[in-house]
Structure 1
């Protein structure tokens, strides 16, 4: 079977450019945003614009996949008539125009300071994303997520978990209708059984903009051992302080019997602008992947969630 073709379009300061790959090319600080033109996806783009301005990103890659299944070529009718090639061609032309408009929107909102690369692929979504990561080395993926109050029917939102699990780079999940806010309080849910995963925060390379931000390390302890801490708990707390000695931080507790409810209830009572999910089987992501996506992410997540790798 022949390899699927890539159709790539580039825009930088409103001029179309050819991509030149050089071995010694300087790597630009890049965000990757898979898009599907839903309101949730568009909101993720607007969030990414503000994020890129705040944290000095130089390039944004927009990715749209046209992967077709056998059912995409069939009209749902009594005759199951094949979809006209002209219809599919027109669909691609319209999507290309939308990508162009989205690129222009980013260029305008960033005052032409960010290079925008539009990529259109016929590969399945996950494979297309992994190929872009391999070839373009983005620092992070930004994904839009529907909420329990609103669903845009976003294809991207419906594939959050597979993307987050497979991605070799960190992922930022942006809830629908959430507008960018300066990061002052960062919630770090942490199971004391996997405290070693805290070293991933060092790999995050906390930006200077977070110098005054506080890391709130939250442990959900249904047994409320924190009320009368034993030596083991004290050692765990000391380990947290040692790991995060270079950062402004605080240890917090929840007595909720459910991990997810404990975490998200905490965000309702405190002003949180970002949740960081540590890797490992006791991470926030682990619990999300072992619960219903609609219940764990779409219904509950009200703040952006950054999943570290």
Structure 2
């Protein structure tokens, strides 16, 4: 079954990711959504912050799990109601750490994609999932869709593909995406951030790179775009501000968009880039 996996923590950011996933699943023919909640505790979760550092009562922890189970049931009913019973919803709980729990579900249930909610630089819901975004995105063997806090689902018309010409071979990953029929009228905007502005007077190497892009994307509507910003992240941000982008696709590889995200601070990179959904290919 075509499946989405959504780790949840009942924060507003997590709930928003669920609402986004509902609309995404309806548009792209998903048949099942798996909700995953981990109850993993660290040693500090068993301590009340007080002068005495008294242990937390087992009854308290049991009540916490019972409340979470009720919230999972409520979330499942919400999804089923929004999809007119056309979608199977599975609630899963785990005592394992978040990342391990996600990887176990991926291995056992084979979802096509993981949907994660992300806080941004102006807003924080205190989401545990959002706080572990980078680790999940890097470790996941399947593609990941990052949904910004408060972002409302929009049909995908313009897709931004940040691309470093040093790793153009990674464009073949777009073939694995299986562009859906809903994107037949969509356009891929391939953005190269080039601070040296070589595109103003392209040499043979740049011309060859552009030809490679056109060849790789010959089956899709696409356009090559440039930014002269000295900072890759800022170049991407500025571009999304000037164009109506509904999805950013991150290609894999050392010089990919993901590379820049994982080598900057979370607040400066992921959070500031969370105005549009980001799909990370694998």
Settle same-fold status: TM greater than 0.5: yes
On the 8 A contact 2:119/2:274 being kept in 1, the answer is no
On the 8 A contact 2:248/2:279 being kept in 1, the answer is yes
On the 8 A contact 1:264/1:301 being kept in 2, the answer is no
TM-score (norm 1): 0.91
1:52-103 Cα shifts (integer Å, max 9, x gaps): 0000000000000000110010000000000000000000000000000000
Q: Give the structure 1 partner of residue 8 of structure 2.
A: 35
Name structure 2 gaps, 5 residues minimum: none
Shift of 1:220: 0.2
1:107-147 Cα shifts (integer Å, max 9, x gaps): 00001000000001000000000000000000000000001
Output the CA distance in 2 between the equivalents of 1:153 and 1:271: 29
- Secondary structure of 2:240's partner? helix
Shift of 1:297: 1.1
Runs of 4+ in 1 over 2 A off after TM superposition: none
Alignment of 1:182-261 (within 5 A): 182-261=155-234
- Secondary structure of 2:215's partner? helix
Q: Give the structure 2 partner of residue 124 of structure 1.
A: 97
Output the CA distance in 2 between the equivalents of 1:253 and 1:271: 16
On the 8 A contact 1:146/1:154 being kept in 2, the answer is yes
Shift of 1:264: 1.2
On the 8 A contact 2:120/2:272 being kept in 1, the answer is yes
Output the CA distance in 2 between the equivalents of 1:195 and 1:278: 10
Shift of 1:300: 3.1
The answer as to 2:247 corresponding to 1:271 is no
Output the CA distance in 1 between the equivalents of 2:84 and 2:227: 44
Q: Give the structure 2 partner of residue 298 of structure 1.
A: 271
Name structure 1 gaps, 5 residues minimum: 1-27
Shift of 1:298: 1.2
- Secondary structure of 2:188's partner? strand
Shift of 1:299: 2.6
Alignment of 1:15-164 (within 5 A): 28-164=1-137
- Secondary structure of 2:269's partner? helix
Output the CA distance in 2 between the equivalents of 1:300 and 1:248: 24
